[in-house]
Amino acid sequence: MTRMIERQRHIMDFTLAALLRRKGKNGALLSVYTLLVFILASILFFTHALKHEAALVLNEAPEIIVQRTMTGRYQTIPVAWSDRIRQINGVISVHPRLWGYKYDKDFLANYTMMVPAGNPPEPGSIDIGSGISRMRGANRGDIIAFAGHDGQPRSFTIRNIFDSESQLVTSDLILLSEKDYRDFSGIPEDQSTDLALQVRNPREYATIAEKISRMYPDSRPIVRTEIQRTYDALFGWRSGLMIVIFAAVALAFVIFAWDKATGLSAEEQKEIGILKAVGWETSDIMLMKFWEGSIISLTAFLLGTILAYAHVFFTSAALFAPVIKGWSTLYPTFRLTPFIDFGQVATLFFLTVVPYTVTTIIPSWRAATIDPDTVMR
Amino acid sequence: MKAIFRNICIMFTVLFFGFSLALAADLKPHKAGPKDKCPVCGMFVAKYPDFAAQITFRDGATFHFDGAKDMFRFYLNLSRYAPGKKTTDVAAVFVTNYYDLSLVNGLTAYYVIGSDVYGPMGRELIPFVRETEARDFMKDHHGTSRIRFRDVTPAILKPLD
């Protein structure tokens, strides 16, 4: 047993020394390999983080949202509708919501304003997301002003600044009291933005939505699964674009591995010949080649993955900026929530390290079985 | 003397019944664990909480089912599924109320059969606490009939297979 470990150790020692002897060639190989892994891992992390973000958004979403439309356009909904909708079997509760968007001309930013269901701020005070706090340089206790629907500015005291799991949801959020929001947005007392329904049994979603449409023909019930589809579409096209890049990089990797697999340079063949001549066995040479492949691919894998992590989560995927521009104009300081799935790292590992290591063994086996005399001549 | 004895007897009887009623009302439904299997079909119950049912016996033994149908099959054939137990030993029956998915008393519930809602074991008896809910459900989901616990017989379960 110890003999076997010793043997592996000696071969590894020799392999490392051999790799260091050809610094230029192996360095170039390592950097190309690292770059490939970096791009692949960035894409994987990025698409997964987007999906994760979407799931976080959806977690908060109510089971059914009822909106009202007029001439096919969105309209505020009468609060009185909630009484009849509450009578429908399977509806646990109906909550009229008040929320909307506000474009800030001075800071070129879009805010989401919302009256929270529980623990709303006192009239005259607000809670703001960390993004707004950073952008406007406002802290707890400061007074901040926004122009209302009539153009008159209204000032609020900041009660709290929140940081939550998903920055996409809360970075641009302003929470305020119902009284303040009605005054700010001009929504009349008996109207609300939409109705949020709580429904326990998912089997009843469709039936309830149908009953609501029959009850109020100008209403538009939106079921959670539809919300999910919308998010999928929104995040899906970005992921789709990434997949195209992914395919190109994967192809590059295949060519790269193929190049390695088709043959060894005359110099490497000569080296194998010499090793055989001094008494190495075919199995020793294959072991050496195996270690060589493992060392290069593992180093490249680790480096590439770490770089990709930093790229996606610390610099908000700066290299992919043109692709995410769509919402970066809406959320100027948006950062993805770090999220790593063990499965995706394992996939990356099996897609890069394993095939590379295997492809380096075959040509060396071919070279190792040839007579050393022919190789060295 | 006799009258006093009778009064005491009545008092004790009332007390006893009151006590046992209180005991029955105290029985809370247990949550099905990940290893609880339906004794009728052998499926794991925890995977299908939307239809779960359970029977608790006076000795504390609890059986979990993946639907009201299997619960009735068990209840109507105790000699096969729980030898040695009788229907009089049953302390409580719980079924999942369709609309709010809470476990409710199965003995007083209303059951709709023939609807287009299927449980993990196919056609089901869908339980409701209130009769009005059961009636509305029948209309929405094309149920054929609405029955009580005592009305369920093997003949009614047969076409649900």
Chain A neighbors of B131, CB-CB under 8 A: none
Which of A87, A92, A201, A212 has the highest number of chain B CBs within 10 A, making it the mutation to test binding with B?
A: A201
Which of B101, B116, B142 has the highest number of chain A CBs within 10 A, making it the mutation to test binding with A?
A: B101
Q: Three-class SS of residue A216?
A: coil
What confidence score (pLDDT) does residue A165 get? 59
Q: Which of A89, A200, A211 sits opposite B137 (nearest CB)?
A: A89
**What are the φ/ψ torsions at residue A158 (nearest 5 degrees)?**
-80, 120
**Span B136-151, average pLDDT:** 92
Q: Which of B101, B140, B141 sits opposite A200 (nearest CB)?
A: B101
Q: Do A90 and B141 touch (CB under 8 A)?
A: no
What confidence score (pLDDT) does residue A271 get? 83
CA distance A279 to A275: 7
A-chain residue closest to B51, CA distance: A201
CA distance A224 to A317: 30
Residue A258 has pLDDT above 70, yes or no: yes
CA distance A113 to A96: 15
Helix boundaries (H) for A216-341:
224-262, 266-277, 282-309, 321-328
Q: B95 near B56, Cβ under 8 Å?
A: no
- Choose between B60 and A257: higher pLDDT: B60
Q: Three-class SS of residue A171?
A: coil
CB atoms within 10 A of CB B123: 18
Chain B residues with a Cβ under 8 Å from any Cβ in chain A:
50, 98-101, 117, 133, 136-137, 140-141
Q: A85 near A215, Cβ under 8 Å?
A: yes
Q: Do B99 and A203 touch (CB under 8 A)?
A: no
**Span B139-154, average pLDDT:** 92
**What are the φ/ψ torsions at residue A65 (nearest 5 degrees)?**
-115, 135
Q: Three-class SS of residue A130?
A: helix
CA distance B38 to A270: 70
**pLDDT per position as a tens digit, A203-237:** 899 999 999 999 999 999 989 888 777 777 766 67
Residue A325 has pLDDT above 90, yes or no: no
What confidence score (pLDDT) does residue A164 get? 62
What confidence score (pLDDT) does residue A330 get? 43
**Span A354-374, average pLDDT:** 77
Distance from CA of B78 to the nearest CA of A (A): 31
Chain A residues with a Cβ under 8 Å from any Cβ in chain B:
89-90, 92, 200-201, 203-204, 207, 211
Helix axes A342-369 and A282-309, enclosed angle (nearest 10): 150
CB atoms within 10 A of CB B50: 16
CA distance B141 to B112: 10
Residue A120: which pLDDT band, with cuts at 50, 70 and 90? confident
Residue A331: which pLDDT band, with cuts at 50, 70 and 90? very low
CA distance A343 to B16: 61
CB atoms within 10 A of CB A333: 16
Give the residue among B61, B66, B62, B35 at the shortest CA–CA distance from B50. Answer: B66
Residue A188 has pLDDT above 90, yes or no: yes
ipTM above 0.90, yes or no: no
CA distance A7 to A130: 58
Strands A143-147 and A109-114: unpaired
What confidence score (pLDDT) does residue A345 get? 87
Distance from CA of B17 to the nearest CA of A (A): 36
**Span A270-287, average pLDDT:** 85
CA distance A342 to A339: 10
What confidence score (pLDDT) does residue A76 get? 93
Chain A neighbors of B142, CB-CB under 8 A: none
Mean pLDDT estimate for chain B: 85
**Span A289-301, average pLDDT:** 87
Q: Which of B101, B117, B133 sits opposite A89 (nearest CB)?
A: B133
> Residue written as tokens 């790593």?
A340
Q: A184 near A148, Cβ under 8 Å?
A: yes
CA atoms within 13 A on the CB side of B136: 16
CA distance B137 to B144: 11
Distance from CA of A138 to the nearest CA of B (A): 44
CA distance A360 to A262: 9
Residue B12: which pLDDT band, with cuts at 50, 70 and 90? low
B-chain residue closest to A207, CA distance: B140
CA distance B119 to A355: 46
- Choose between B8 and A179: higher pLDDT: A179
- Choose between B124 and A355: higher pLDDT: B124
Query: Which of A316-320, A352-356, B5-9 is least confident?
Result: B5-9
**Span A255-271, average pLDDT:** 73
Chain B neighbors of A211, CB-CB under 8 A: 140
**pLDDT per position as a tens digit, B28-85:** 888 888 899 999 999 999 988 999 999 999 998 999 999 999 999 999 999 999 898 8
What confidence score (pLDDT) does residue A334 get? 55
**Span B22-30, average pLDDT:** 62
What confidence score (pLDDT) does residue A44 get? 82
C-alpha distance from residue A126 to each of A148, A149, A171, A175, B44 (Å): 14, 17, 14, 6, 49
Distance from CA of A192 to the nearest CA of B (A): 26
**What are the φ/ψ torsions at residue B34 (nearest 5 degrees)?**
-65, -15
Residue B11: which pLDDT band, with cuts at 50, 70 and 90? low
Residue B92: which pLDDT band, with cuts at 50, 70 and 90? very high
What confidence score (pLDDT) does residue A246 get? 75
